[in-house]
Chains A and B, each alone.
Chain A
Amino acid sequence: MFTFLTQRILQLIPTLFCVSILIFGLQQLLPGDPALVMAGEERDPAVLEQIRKQYRLDQPVPVQYVYWVKGVLTGDLGESMRLKKPVSELVVEKLPVTLQLACMALLIALAIGIPAGIVSAVKRGTAWDYGANIFALWGISTPNFWLGILLIFLFAVTLNWLPASGYVGLRENFWASIATTIMPAFVLGNAIAAILMRHTRSAMLQAMTADYVRTARAKGLAERRVVLKHALRNALTPVITLGALEFGTLLSGAVLTEQIFTIPGFGKLIVDSVFNRDYAVVQGVVLVTASTYILLNLLADIAYVLVNPRLRA
């Protein structure tokens, strides 16, 4: 177990190195001149010159890269050109928001997706099955921004039950915080629920025909117990992996949903920064989310080993 862990952790180093080069390189491919964007309408040549110098834009790309990596290794993610604020501060500011939204979305997805998947597998070919499938199709094919605007019009403008957009922190006011995040979380969770439902359904269908299920039935167990205890347990493993991966994606920020509901998370930060060519912020945020993703993968691998003794060899 120990060698496995050290091996996996050592593997992280080249991965992270590649990620850092990718992040930096891809950004250089973006057309446009950050100094020009930064200068906005006042495009005085002297001002442009000064910006280029201050942010080392006048130096070769490899040199800029070395400066950046040096900073990152010493815990300095750089400073936002546009906001004159350290990137690490921005990340710390946004992380709880994105984390809260991701957790709520995943909870909603699990609460809808898994029961729907079970029901449609158990009652295969009935109206329940078709209903769940139609829901899944709808969930996958509805654009987030459209569903978002519809929800705003229904729950905020017409019924006046929920605030139309904005964000209140959890510690500031718990219920207001839930009220501001419930709609975006539902929009995000809904799409994931559809995917989870499809996977649960097919895994369950497979499990239901397995020998141990037949044995369980032959023993005379109640159908409810057969489904939930014997079939579901085995069917759930791939679904949980999928859920973990979707969680990783949610953590990298939900660009459109955050934009519509004005949730100040990673997605909004990254979009604004790309449009403003605020390189340091884009680099910092992508690095943090990429690292989180890699870490989640590592945790998933470890969990596999813990669950499945056959992998320990």
Chain B
Amino acid sequence: MKSLRIAAFAAAFGMLASGAVAQTTLRIGLAEDPDILDPTLARTYVGRIVFSAICDKLFDINEKLEIVPQLATGYTVSPDGESVTIKLRQGVKFHDGETFDAEAAKFSLERHLTMQGSFRKPEIAQIDRIEVVDPLTIRLALKAPFSPLMAQLTDRAGMMVSPKAAKETGDKFGLKPVCAGPYKFVERVQQDRIVVEKFADYWNKDNVHIDRVVYLPIVDSTVRLANLRAGSLQMVERFLATDVKTVKEDKRLKMVSAIDLGYQGLTLNLANGPKADNPLGKSAKVRKAFELAIDRDAINQVVFNGEFLVGNQWINPRNPYYQQSVPVPKRDVAKAKALLKEAGVTGRVELDFMVTNNPETRQIAEMLQSMMAEVGFDLKIRVTEFATALKEAEDGNFQVFLIGWSGRTDPDGNLYVFVTCNAPQNNGKYCDPKTDEEVKKARVASDLAERKKIYEPATKRLVGDNEGPIIYLYHRGILTAYTEKLEGYTQLPDGLIRLVGLKLKP
């Protein structure tokens, strides 16, 4: 390997001498192998990281979660909220040389809406039709006002694909995606690597400094980090909180972290089948006692080195939508016991506690078990493989389920499908018309302050008074480590690795 490196160096030196610039390659270790690289059909978190290199979106977000232009330059919403006019950037080319214009944008959005097997359809289903106003303007006519729409366009639903390539390859587009991002797809070897190279005609090419990027899925986080320390990678995503010390002590490495958009919590079975018939499922008071038994800070310190952020709502305490009037409750055993008594619970409450199988979740489950035991709950931990757990949750075969959500930019994405009556992810089968009404109202309002106000009573009801089906515990820190030779990297809460502006020193 050493001789290889010398050879590479010699080659690079030779090129320099002949006047050409040395190729720079950034090798990034991913925590999983992405699924298909088609923005319409993709569904994994990690796939989005690769998309951020190859497929630009209409809009992007910044550190404050504000919506900023990318392939679009701006938008206006009609006063009745039922149509959105989007101005597109001029001079944008797809990787195959095709021009990006209103027709192409219309094509991409319609592909998301109509393609067989599209995972984007539910995200932007509120779009009724797309009109081309002029070559650089489109208008989206909505079925009803829907404020989370713009946030959806900052993720995969906003990704634009080359109409020519998409028409030619159909549902095989993902094997060789053609978009308008800073890097174009070169090759992929399943479970081994994805290679992309700088796109010469990128609209913002002056800010792209690295020639080649190679994504390598390395599932084991110890090995992933070892690769970074050995120099065979220049960056790794999502390393373990318990490795923070190792990274900080290594002078050749740097790290950044951002609190993610999602949450981790306990889903409670309120009305899903016979298992819901237990004190926790039936009484909000018992649920309050249950929550008061939890010491969130202890979990964060013990399992995550204090690197994560504890919370009690579907968005983290640093999010602009966080309701300060409903703070994170502290552990209070005496009060919890009193509440149980008030609720008429005598004797110990035994609960079926489903946990997915990984070292961190098992550790959390054991901590919760001992915290709960002090108050009077006996958690029977049932470690279940992930795919099985999903089905069990759907079928109502659980009483408490430790599970998380990767999160969406708009708060609606963390709430609607979990708490409205009969929503697809409402595994606890919570249903309250008042909550439904408020959550729906917040989808229509567009102003942040106004929406936050609408969410306030729902927050009080769902988590303040423990009527809701989820006890939110903490928000993960997205920990990214990289070589000190890499300059200009910042981590945003959506977990993407943005490559524009990055520099790699030789």
Question: Which residues of chain A have a CB within 8 Å of any CB of chain B?
Answer: 30-33, 36-47, 50-51, 54, 82-85, 90, 93-94, 149, 152-153, 156-157, 160-167, 173, 175-176, 179, 259-262, 264, 268-269, 272, 275-277
Contacts and interface: CB of A to CB of B under 8 A. Distances in A.
B123 A42 contact: yes
A69 B227 CA distance: 43
Interface of B: 1-2, 4, 33, 35-36, 38, 41, 43-44, 116-119, 121-123, 171-172, 174-175, 189-193, 216-220, 222-223, 226-227, 229-232, 385-388, 390-392, 394, 405-406, 417, 424-425
B143 to A, nearest CB: 16
Contacts of B227: 156, 163-166
Contact of A44 (B2, B192, B230, B424): B424
A26 B44 CA distance: 27
A44 B122 contact: yes
Contacts of B189: 93, 264
Nearest to A258: B191
B405 A32 contact: no
A36 B191 CA distance: 22
Contact of A39 (B119, B386, B417): B119
A166 B228 CA distance: 12
Nearest to A93: B190
A47 B123 contact: no
A264 B190 contact: yes
A264 B232 contact: no
B183 to A, nearest CB: 20
B36 A83 contact: yes
A160 B390 contact: no
B398 to A, nearest CB: 13
Contacts of A163: 1, 227, 230, 232
B43 A83 contact: no
6 contacts: A36-B387, A47-B119, A83-B190, A161-B2, A259-B219, A262-B219
B390 A32 contact: yes
Nearest to A176: B4
Nearest to A153: B226
A165 B191 contact: no
Given A42-B43, A50-B117, A90-B190, A83 B123 contact: no
Contacts of B216: 166, 262
A117 B117 CA distance: 58
Nearest to A44: B122
Given A50-B117, A51-B117, A276 B387 contact: yes
A262 B223 contact: yes
Given A32-B391, A39-B43, A47-B122, 5 more contacts: A43-B425, A47-B119, A82-B36, A85-B190, A160-B231
B390 A33 contact: yes
Nearest to A173: B4
Contact of A272 (B41, B191, B223, B406): B191
Contacts of B38: 84
Given A44-B121, A264-B189, A275 B387 contact: yes
B424 A45 contact: yes
A180 to B, nearest CB: 9
A156 B232 contact: yes
Given A44-B121, A268-B191, A83 B394 contact: no
Closest 9 CB pairs of A and B: A32-B387, A40-B43, A264-B192, A44-B122, A156-B230, A31-B388, A264-B191, A164-B227, A43-B424
Contacts of A275: 385-387
A263 to B, nearest CB: 8
A37 B35 CA distance: 12
Contacts of B231: 160
Given A44-B424, A161-B1, A275-B387, A82 B220 contact: no
Contact of A84 (B41, B43, B406): B41
Contacts of B191: 262, 264, 268-269, 272
Contacts of A90: 190
B247 to A, nearest CB: 13
A31 B123 contact: no
Given A47-B121, A85-B175, A272-B33, A36 B1 contact: no
Given A157-B226, A164-B226, A262 B218 contact: yes
